[in-house]
Structure 1
Amino acid sequence: MDLCARGGIARYLDRIGLDEADLPNGLEALVSAVATAQHARVPFENLGIHAGRVVGVEPARIAQRLVDDRRGGICYELNGLLLYALRALGVPAVLHGARVDSGAGFGPADGHVAVVVPGDPAMLVDVGFGGDMILRPIDLADPAGRDVSAGAARYRIDPAVRELDEFAGMARWHSTSGQSRFTGSVICTLPVDAGRRTMTGRIDPESGRIDYRMIEVDGDSRREYAVAAADVPGRLSDVFGIDDPRPPMRSAVGRHR
């Protein structure tokens, strides 16, 4: 699907619950409205990786999965989709790679990708970091200003402008490497009005057994409980809008490595 075509952007807006006629005027307001709507409707999830799927960065493939198939994705897919949607709406958005620091030091180059809207100041917009959306000014000329914090994690942006196809190698690495955080656990997460819903699945590296848990955050309250594997498809459908999922099972984990 070509998001730049009229029908393509209409289907994208329908996916995120917006009507083109109601889009706000002004660059910052438009970017904020579109990013907020996508972040609220398209989950951050890596279920496909554990079913043997290698994440792709081709625009048509991303649009097929996230828009037409109504699935979610990781940063390359979520921010890649946002990039092309903003461009289709006339916003001159670009991509920047980043190194992620989750507490053990910075990881590999291009381990993350984020969208930047050039301007004075430039605007960082990130719907693919797995937590709250990031939307703030950024000065890419200032080395200190390129460190972005998000909860307990942070990343450091590379100042060079990139194209999405340059991230194909890292998308494959995240899909297949035992060193990737995405191959060692399952996640599907989506914000709700007062908090967030997250399904996780920690994989035992020896047995391959997956222990699924649901985390429900509402304001200051947090509830966590186990979910039986048989109940995972229904929970993904009811909570995250992912229908007919094939959640990872022991025999599927890592079969593509």
Structure 2
Amino acid sequence: MDHERAYEGLTTAARAAYLDRIGVADPGAPSAGGLARLQRAHLRTVPFENLSIHLGEPVVLEPAALVAKVVDRRRGGFCYELNGAFAELLRSLGYRVSLLAARVFQGERPGPPFDHLALRVDLDEPWLADVGFGRFSELPLRLDGRGEQADPQGVFTVRPYGEHGELDVLMDGEPQYRLDQRPYRLADFGPTCWWQTSSPQSHFTRSTTCSLPTPEGGRTTLSGTRLIRTAPDGGRAEEQLTDAAALSAYREHFGIALDRLPSPPSV
């Protein structure tokens, strides 16, 4: 908590380095179009990955640590890390950002609170921004919109749930997560983040994943030593790699330089 209070946001140099990391030369003033460009650029350059868990690295939920991991260490992360870092970039550019907690659906039922971190960005209307959910919307979604929202990744719908202002977010008719619209602090996600990174029941501790969308609309994923390429039409090709080839694949496809392969911890 003391570290978080002492953090004063991105410096001008840190903001420039972050923008260079995601390949955005001129973000412009805060706008819906600017937010969309930033989200798309972030998704295409910063991988969704859980490698720290399998490399014995701590996941530190402090803004400076999250930004340093993405920018200085040229790594990615999962929802708390990616959206936590992205929130800092957006705030440094003048966007009004709130951290929202979500419950990820497992079939027809949502999981526990704080299972996911997403972002609310307030412009002329509120937007849902999310660079930390893996395959999800490529562009921000209107939080107040109740009709279908077309996106390169599918058709999304945001619909109210219950009596407490929650929102269900659906992709192609399938519920993805349930949003609590109250704003939270980054530290509020700490207990669930600890569980996700340490519990033998967490899917993050059971296997490694590293994934990025392709410019054509598919995805490239390295799971263990399996390289998986998914085409925009849903076609899928898998290739089993040697350890040496997997290390090369981390560099080639995700820009991540490792000196050893991550391996699931003994739990």
Same fold (TM over 0.5): yes
1:189 aligns with 2:220: no
CA contact (8 A) 1:57 1:77 kept: yes
1:61 aligns with 2:65: yes
1:223 aligned partner, one-letter code: A
The equivalent position to 2:167 in structure 1, one of 131, 142, 146, is 146
In 2, distance between residues paired with 1:52 and 1:38?
Answer: 25
TM-score, normalization: structure 2?
A: 0.83
Alignment of 1:169-248 (within 5 A): 169-194=191-216, 195-201=218-224, 212-220=225-233, 221-248=235-262
Pairwise CA distance, 1:4: 2.4
Q: What CA deviation, in whole Å up to 9, does each residue of 1:120-156 have, x standing for no partner?
A: 5310010100113352111399437711124766110
| DSSP 3-state at the match of 1:56 | coil
Alignment of 1:58-137 (within 5 A): 58-103=62-107, 105-119=109-123, 121-132=125-136, 133=138, 135-137=140-142
* Corresponding position of 1:209: none
In 2, distance between residues paired with 1:155 and 1:101?
Answer: 5
In 2, distance between residues paired with 1:91 and 1:129?
Answer: 21
Structure 2 residue ranges without an equivalent (≥5): 1-6, 145-157
CA contact (8 A) 1:24 1:33 kept: no
1:8 aligned partner, one-letter code: A
In 1, distance between residues paired with 2:122 and 2:78?
Answer: 23
Q: CA separation of 1:109/1:90 partners in 2, compared to 1, >3 Å: closer, same or farther? A: same
CA contact (8 A) 1:99 1:112 kept: yes
Instruction: Give me the CA root mean square deviation.
Output: 2.2
CA contact (8 A) 1:188 1:200 kept: yes
1:155 aligns with 2:177: yes
CA contact (8 A) 1:94 1:162 kept: yes
CA contact (8 A) 1:3 1:12 kept: no
TM-score, normalization: structure 1?
A: 0.86
In 1, distance between residues paired with 2:171 and 2:122?
Answer: 21
The equivalent position to 1:4 in structure 2, one of 6, 10, 26, is 10
The size of the alignment, in residue pairs, is 241
| DSSP 3-state at the match of 1:183 | helix
Q: What CA deviation, in whole Å up to 9, does each residue of 1:203-244 have, x standing for no partner?
A: xxxxxxxxx211112332421121222321111001111012
Pairwise CA distance, 1:167: 0.9
Structure 1 residue ranges without an equivalent (≥5): 202-211
CA contact (8 A) 2:30 2:94 kept: no
